[in-house]
Structure 1
Amino acid sequence: MYPPNPDTSDQKHHGAPTPYTQLPATGVQVSSTTQHSSNYPPPPPAAPVAWSTGLFDCCSDVKNCCITCWCPCITFGQIAEIVDRGSTSSVTSGTLYGLISLITGCACIYSYVYRTKIREQYMLEESPCGDCMVHCFCDSCAMCQEYRELQNRGYNMTLGWKGNVQQQNHGVAMTPTAPTSEPGMTR
């Protein structure tokens, strides 16, 4: 009765709608798949890449290793703020991590979720085993590795999300403001 909608016809042939990802360095939204003709199959998904550092490479950043060992809530809060793109503060995430650790004695039930988020954002391998198992057996080492990964991807972990955005924009504030009106003419 009606002609097919070109936006939904691609969904019928290839399943789910085209997902969008946000590039951390630019903040620009791009399609994770390329446009293709209906005569050709969609391209295969990109293969996961290795982490930039190993799980037990803690000696490369002794300061972070010590902070994570003695007060893991600080490292976790910094990781969570960057991964959540500033929607939660490092203080809130770190406090929640500390409370879960205090109540259950096992904060890895919360921290492994962020390892999964990092892997999905950057297409990283799930190694050396599942995210939950890595955090269950080596929570501190896993958080150190995640911290180093974000650092190696250009984030200054001490600045937090907003500080990194400001640094990327060269200090120019990008908050929308209402235009100011000047008073009318007077005699």
Structure 2
Amino acid sequence: MALLLKAGLGADPWTVFTQGIARKTGWSPGAVLLVISVVVFILWIPLRQRPGVGTVANALLVGPLLDLALWALPTPHELPVRVLYLLAGVLGIALATGLYVGVGWGPGPRDGLMTGLARIGLPLAVGRTLVEVSVLAGGWLLGGTIGPGTVLFMATIGPLVGYVLPRLTLAQPEPSTSR
């Protein structure tokens, strides 16, 4: 996420939303992300979505780590370096998603909102699209940056996660057949 923000070429919908709120409130992106996670958890209640250790870790660690990375990473000015940041950010998010979902630790707060909507009968693609378009529009209206990186993210994140997730999913032990 920090790479996407530092690239300044547009980010994923949730990061655009985070960025927009940060610009309006003056809070750090990490603090905003933490608050968003809490609000999204509240939205899980009527969906009967249950958090896992990965859900809680995502909610508590990603915000502070985002702030740390934003502080530590240099801001590139040359377009080729900005594009490299963008590509690394998209790949990093796909890889991170594959890692925490693949080990069965539970979805992140934002992913859990979408899976919770699917569990109550809304097709996953429809729920994901509604949520992503809503936060993207809200983030843009609040001043978040939409650009070619946003389009790249939205076009590639599904296939990238689809590629890495099965490769990072821990195999479930076979049931014992001995008597």
- Bigger Cα Rg: 1
Fold agreement, TM-score > 0.5: no
Q: What TM-score, normalized to structure 2?
A: 0.30
- The answer to which structure has the higher helix fraction is 2
